[in-house]
Amino acid sequence: MKTSIICLPLVTLSLLLSSCSTTPVTGRKQMNLTSESEVAKMSIASFEQMKAQMSISTHAAYNEMLQNVGERISQQVFWDMPMAEWEFVVFDQPEINAFAMPGGKVGVFMGLFQIVETEDELASVVAHEIAHVTARHTHERISQGMVLNAGSSLIGIAAAVSGTAALGNGTYINAAPTIMGLYGIGAGQVAQSWDQGKEAEADHIGIMYMAKAGYDPNAAIRVMERMVELEGGMGGNNNYGSTHPSSMDRLNALHSYLEEAMAEYEQAKAFYY
Site for Zn ion, rule CB under 5 A: 202, 244
Q: Quick check: helix, strand or coil at residue 54?
A: coil
Q: Rg of the chain's alpha carbons, rounded to an integer?
A: 20
Q: Quick check: helix, strand or coil at residue 247?
A: helix
CB of 268 to Zn ion, least distance (A): 23
Tell me whether residue 48 or residue 195 sits nearer to Zn ion (CB atom).
Answer: 195
Tell me whether residue 160 or residue 202 sits nearer to Zn ion (CB atom).
Answer: 202
Contact 64, 5 (CB under 8 A): no
Nearest to 223 by CA among 263, 260, 250: 250
Q: Residue type for 42, please?
A: M
CB of 210 to Zn ion, least distance (A): 14
Q: Residue type for 140, please?
A: E
Q: How far is Cα 113 from Cα 111, in angstroms, rounded to an integer?
A: 5
CB of 192 to Zn ion, least distance (A): 7
CB of 196 to Zn ion, least distance (A): 10
CB of 129 to Zn ion, least distance (A): 7
At a CB cut-off of 8 Å and minimum separation 6, what does 36 contact? 83, 102, 139
CB of 203 to Zn ion, least distance (A): 7
The neighbour count for residue 54, using CB atoms within 10 Å, is 18
CB of 193 to Zn ion, least distance (A): 9
Contact 94, 46 (CB under 8 A): no
One DSSP character per residue, 77-138 reads TTTTSTT---EEEEE---SS-EEEETTTEEEEEGGGGGT--SHHHHHHHHHHHHHHHHTTHH
Q: Quick check: helix, strand or coil at residue 190?
A: strand
